């Protein structure tokens, strides 16, 4: 058993993990479900929805704090909490498969969730930016989603290819023609409509590519999960469920649901939805507390934390 009191910092609000962080959702489910069912001493763990990445050495949440120890990320935190768990049922091969599946979920599948949160225009404009306004104080609520959007664009390059930025410049044309028509309102309106049409076409293309990659990755995930040969819930299950749960809760989720039902089969999708309902309705058993002033992501502490890094 992990000795000492552990504090787990997450993204969240109103005593629930925020959809903005699939890893926070997965860890919340892990602590209140899987971990507690192993008869672990959950009194040694407390959850704090601090929404403060400055507490983490790599500026990521969730984060486990125990004395001077700082462990960030769902995978690392679960590994630490389960380090004393003996599993006689799992062979070495199964353990390696489960570990590989967890890493795959954390890297590749989470990238697709990042796409939906930050690069899907509908989701970003109507959910992501507004959610950060509730989670963070000014000016962090403005800068943070922009930062994560840039990170998501970079992370998605390898998986989804080049994604045009919203700041993309208009295609070069005849400088003389442009100069002659600079004062033409009709020309400006036509150019704006043309540019908007190209953006919408590119967004639709990117969304279709995302859907294709999502079903492709889930099919691979299911194949590896079947080889893991475990009837119990494993951490990779929780992280996969959390990623899909987030994607199915976003404003532009209907297309995702229809695509998964068609490509993976309605029976699998219905079973998945029932599991997500069970997880999302878990009663909290791990204690929670409000963040202290030093743990909050307020302007004063943010300035302090930035200065402390250079001292």
Residue-wise pLDDT for 260-291, tens only, equals 999 999 999 999 999 999 999 999 999 999 99
Name the nearest CA neighbour of 240 among 267, 216, 276. Answer: 276
Segments making up each domain of the chain, as ranges: 1-86+284-311, 94-280
Q: Tens digit of pLDDT for each residue in 35-46?
A: 877 756 677 899
Q: Return d(Cα 175, Cα 162) in angstroms, integer.
A: 27
> Residue 108 corresponds to which tokens in the numbers above?
């590749």
Q: Could you tell me the pTM of the whole model?
A: 0.86
pLDDT at 309 over 80: no
Q: Return d(Cα 21, Cα 242) in angstroms, integer.
A: 9
Name the nearest CA neighbour of 31 among 59, 56, 53, 12. Answer: 12
What is each CA distance from 35 to 29, 43, 57, 234, in whole angstroms?
Answer: 9, 12, 25, 10
Q: What is the dihedral angle through the alpha carbons of 35, 38, 40, 43, rounded to the nearest 10 degrees? A: 60
Q: Between residues 303 and 218, which one has the greater pLDDT?
A: 218
Q: Return d(Cα 186, Cα 189) in angstroms, integer.
A: 5
pLDDT at 172 over 50: no
Q: If you average pLDDT over every residue of the chain, what do you get? A: 85
Predicted pLDDT of residue 272: 96
Predicted pLDDT of residue 65: 96
Residue 135's φ and ψ, nearest 5 degrees, are: -85, -30
C-beta of residue 51 within 8 angstroms of C-beta of residue 136? yes
Residue 111, C-beta contacts closer than 8 angstroms, at least 6 positions apart: 152, 155, 156, 159
C-beta of residue 165 within 8 angstroms of C-beta of residue 203? no
C-beta of residue 74 within 8 angstroms of C-beta of residue 34? no
C-beta of residue 297 within 8 angstroms of C-beta of residue 140? yes
Q: Between residues 2 and 128, which one has the greater pLDDT?
A: 128
C-beta of residue 24 within 8 angstroms of C-beta of residue 11? yes
* CATH 3.30.160 for domain 1-86+284-311: no
Residue with tokens 């299911």: 222
Q: Tens digit of pLDDT for each residue in 10-29?
A: 999 999 999 999 999 999 99
C-beta of residue 110 within 8 angstroms of C-beta of residue 23? yes
Residue 118, C-beta contacts closer than 8 angstroms, at least 6 positions apart: 124, 128, 145, 148, 149, 152, 153
pLDDT at 259 over 50: yes
Tell me the mean pLDDT in the region 59-67: 95
Helix ranges (H only) for 38-139 are 74-81, 92-104, 110-114, 121-123, 129-135
- % pLDDT > 70, the chain: 81
Q: Between residues 228 and 223, which one has the greater pLDDT?
A: 223
Strands (E), 67-112: 69-72
Q: Between residues 161 and 243, which one has the greater pLDDT?
A: 243
């Amino acid at each position: 058993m992990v000795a000492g009191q552990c504090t787990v910092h997450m993204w969240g609000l109103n005593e629930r993990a925020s959809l903005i962080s699939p890893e926070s959702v997965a860890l919340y489910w892990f602590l209140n479900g899987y971990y507690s069912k192993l008869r672990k001493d959950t009194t040694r763990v407390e959850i704090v929805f601090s929404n403060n990445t400055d507490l983490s050495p790599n500026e990521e949440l969730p984060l486990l704090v125990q004395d001077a120890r700082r462990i960030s990320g769902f995978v690392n935190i679960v590994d630490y909490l389960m380090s004393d768990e003996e599993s006689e049922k799992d062979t070495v091969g199964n353990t390696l498969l489960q570990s590989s599946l967890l890493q795959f979920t954390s890297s590749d599948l989470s990238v697709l969730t990042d796409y939906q949160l930050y690069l899907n225009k509908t989701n970003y404009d109507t959910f992501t930016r507004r959610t950060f306004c509730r989670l963070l104080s000014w000016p962090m609520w403005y800068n943070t989603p922009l930062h994560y959007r840039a990170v998501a664009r970079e992370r998605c390059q390898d998986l989804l290819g080049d994604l045009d930025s919203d700041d993309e410049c208009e295609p070069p044309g005849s400088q003389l023609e442009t100069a002659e028509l600079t004062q033409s309102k009709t020309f400006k309106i036509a150019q704006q409509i043309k540019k908007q049409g190209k953006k919408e076409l590119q967004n639709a293309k990117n969304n279709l590519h995302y859907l294709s990659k999502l079903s492709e990755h889930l099919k691979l995930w299911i194949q590896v999960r079947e080889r893991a040969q475990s009837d119990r819930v494993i951490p990779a299950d929780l992280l996969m469920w959390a990623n899909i749960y987030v994607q199915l809760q976003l404003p532009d989720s209907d297309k995702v649901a229809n695509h998964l039902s068609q490509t993976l089969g309605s029976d699998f999708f219905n079973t998945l939805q029932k599991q997500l309902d069970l997880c999302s309705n878990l009663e909290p058993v791990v204690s929670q507390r409000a963040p202290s002033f030093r743990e909050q992501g307020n302007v004063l502490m943010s300035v302090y934390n930035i200065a402390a890094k250079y001292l």
